[in-house]
Amino acid sequence: NAGVMQNPRHLVRRRGQEARLRCSPMKGHSHVYWYRQLPEEGLKFMVYLQKENIIDESGMPKERFSAEFPKEGPSILRIQQVVRGDSAAYFCASSPLRTESYEQYFGPGTRLTVT
């Protein structure tokens, strides 16, 4: 059973460009979470999605950031008009069910560098 897949692993963008980060959850998992980890900091929750639904986006910046998890295909975290402060590691996690007692399975992360 393959784990959570994220691509690309490393992404370099110039200021003003768009960044698209992809996440394929573990097989059988229908719940996806995105987190951001700034250098020397912990994980900050961004958004929680189910197939075709955004369940909780309370951690998403109000502008430039969006996320989706379509019926077919990976979940996408999209950052428009990137700025230097967006440079971070972005982690995706998945779980099989919506319940507080389940651990999350994390992907290896996408390291975004904005130049």
Partner 1 sequence: AQSVAQPEDQVNVAEGNPLTVKCTYSVSGNPYLFWYVQYPNRGLQFLLKYITGDNLVKGSYGFEAEFNKSQTSFHLKKPSALVSDSALYFCALNTNAGKSTFGDGTTLTVKP
| Chain residues that interact with partner 1, rule: CB under 8 A | 4, 6, 31, 33, 35, 41-45, 48, 55-56, 58, 91, 93, 95, 98-109, 111
Alpha-carbon torsion, ordered 80, 15, 13, 6, to 10 deg: -40
Nearer to partner 1, 6 or 75 (CB): 6
Q: How far apart are CA 87 and CA 100, in angstroms?
A: 30
Supply the minimum distance, in Å, between the C-beta of residue 85 and partner 1: 19
CA separation, residue 79 to residues 13, 29, 95 (Å): 11, 24, 24
In the chain, the amino acid numbered 61 is P
Nearer to partner 1, 43 or 76 (CB): 43
Supply the minimum distance, in Å, between the C-beta of residue 16 and partner 1: 27
Nearer to partner 1, 17 or 54 (CB): 54
- For the chain, where are the E strands, in sequence order? 5-7, 10-13, 19-24, 31-37, 43-50, 53-56, 65-68, 75-79, 88-95, 105-106, 110-114
Nearer to partner 1, 4 or 67 (CB): 4
Supply the minimum distance, in Å, between the C-beta of residue 93 and partner 1: 8
Supply the minimum distance, in Å, between the C-beta of residue 28 and partner 1: 16
